[in-house]
Each structure stands twice: as C-alpha cells, then as structure tokens.
Amino acid sequence: MWQAIAYVSSGVSLAAFLAAVIAWILKTKSEERERLIRTANEADRSVLVQNALEFFHVDTAGLSRQQQFEIALEQIKARAQRFRLTAAVVCFLALLAAGVATFALARHGHETLPPGAVHGNDYSEVARLRVEDLLKEAHNLSNLLAEIKAGQIGTPAPQNRVNDLNNNLFDLWLKIAGYGLGTDPYLDNIFASPSAFSRAHLAPDYGVSDVPQTMGIPRLYERFLNSGGQNPSSRETKLRGLSVAVLDYGNPAIYPHKLFYERAYSRYRNGQDIESQEFKDDLDHIEVWLRTLIENLGKVKSLLASQ
C-alpha cells in the first residue's frame, strides 16, 4: 500500500491517500483485537469480549459466554473486512485521481497552443521578415537586369553578367520555394533544366522558434488572422487577397524560366546571341516577371501590416 504514496500529486489525491491509511490502520487494530481475544486465557477473555460487545453495541442478554465470544469475533471480523474494503477503494480512488492529474499536467505541458492564442503576432512577424528577404533579393536582381539591359554585360571570360543573372534568378526561385511564398515550403529537387537541379532551404526562424519553419506564408497569415478575433467576412476577404497575390508561386516545383536558363547556360553567358531579338525578349520577359513579383510581395507585405 505504501508504494502508492509515489502517485500522490494533488490535494484531492493526498486526502484520499490519508483516508486509505486511516482505514488500513483501523483494519489492523480490529484484527489485533481479534487475535487478543482468541489468544487470551479464560480469565481475561470475558473482559475483552465484554468490551468488544459494548463497543459494537450488541445486546447479549441471555447468551452464553461461548455465544458472546463467537459474536464478538464475527463483529470484529466484519469490521476489519469493511475497513479493508474501504482502504482498497479509497486507495484506488487516490491512484485514479493521481493518474488523472498526471495526465492533465502532461497534456497541458505538450499540447499545441490554439492558432494565434499566444503567438499571433509572431506568425505575422515571421511572414513579414520572409517577404522582406524576398523583396530584397528581387530588387537586387531587378537592378542587375537593368544594368544588363543598359549594355553592362561584361566580357565572356569565361562568363559574363548574364551568367550572374541566370544563377541569381534560379536562386531567387529556390528561396521562394523554401520560404513558402505561395504554399508550404517545397524542399524536393527543382529542375532549372533537364540536367540542372537544386533544392530549396527552409527560411531562418528569425529568433522566433515557436513558429514552425515548415509553415508557408499563406498558413502563417491565416494563423495571424485567426488570432486577431476578426469577423469572418473580413478574414475571408484578406485571405482571398493573399491567395491572389501568391497564386503564381503555388507550384514551386516548376521553375518558370527554364528556357532562359538553357539559353543563358549554353550561349548567352559565352557572349553568343546577345544581340539577338530572342535575348532581348528573354530579358523583357524576366523584367515583367520581376516587376510582378515585387508588386505581389508588396501586396502581401501590406496585408501583413493590416490588422
């Protein structure tokens, strides 16, 4: 029985345990009384039996000493059995209460917080920082593209600045995939051409470790909205606005500039065909894509800033 004290973990279970101990002690006292009566000599037995019968309030008028002796023993046995049963039941209830308390504490310690209940602003902050990283990369690439279009291509020895544009463009797409701009982060192989591929990496946690890095910007924004107690209509409107802004980036497995990658790798970076209309069209296409990306990132940033 004493092993059960290890499971005492609350006031309720402690009270139940003490009640079980008291019942067990009374049971032991009753059994001790029974042994005393059984082992006592005839001279002392009558006194012990009489005390027991007075304790149990049994009317023994007209009964012989042997009958009184038997009744006293039966009463003591019954009392001991009741205490034994009470001790077992109370001890079981104490263990049950301790188990429930332990389970509740463990569940409280490990359960996932409701979306945004405590860290609502953290979801928004992580998403905002990811968007700012992407904006910075997109602006840098846009500046490089503008310089190339202005004729600052460099000498093809062995590669020119078009090679930098090509590599940085693919790196930006990998970052879009790893940051989860349009969906949750995509970390499988992404092919820039039939023979060239790489994998994205998760975004940094920016010191906010409670926010999962595997959660993309749309889900981060949804968690943020859920934490703000906004009315359903406003919430759905904002979610739709984000969905439209990130629609083009929802399938990061498909790199949108494969043709340019192949031409830049095989020809443009070596100075071939850089005066061709195809090259100019490729640059125009990238310029439009970057402009659209920057606009969409700006929309996402504005949505994250709104309450």
Q: What are φ and ψ of residue 213, in 5° steps? A: -70, -20
Tokens of 91: 């001890």
Q: What is the mean pLDDT of residues 284-289?
A: 98
Distance between CA 23 and CA 119 in Å, rounded?
50
At 142-168, the pLDDT tens digits run 999 999 999 999 988 788 999 999 999
Query: Looking at residue 156, what is its pLDDT?
Result: 82
pLDDT one-digit tens code per residue, 157-211:
788 999 999 999 999 999 999 999 999 999 999 999 999 999 999 999 999 989 9
pLDDT at residue 215, as a whole number: 96
Minimum mean pLDDT range among 69-73, 91-95, 113-117, 167-171: 113-117
**CB neighbours (10 Å) of residue 85?**
12
Token pair, residue 164, equals: 């930098």
The string of pLDDT tens digits covering residues 112-134 is 444 444 367 899 999 999 999 99
pLDDT of amino acid 24: 61
Tell me the C-alpha distance between 169 and 145, whole Å.
Answer: 10
Angle between helices 120-149 and 161-179 (to 10 degrees): 160
DSSP 3-state assignment of 199?
strand
Helix (H) or strand (E) holding 56: helix 42-56
> What are the backbone dihedrals phi and psi of residue 116, each rounded to the nearest 5 degrees, phi first?
80, 0
Looking at residue 158, its pLDDT comes to 81
Percent over 70 (pLDDT), the chain: 62
pLDDT at 305 over 70: yes
Q: What is this structure's pTM?
A: 0.62
Q: What is the pLDDT of residues 5-58, one digit of tens each?
A: 544 445 655 666 666 667 667 667 666 665 655 665 555 556 555 565 555 555
| pLDDT value of residue 107 | 42
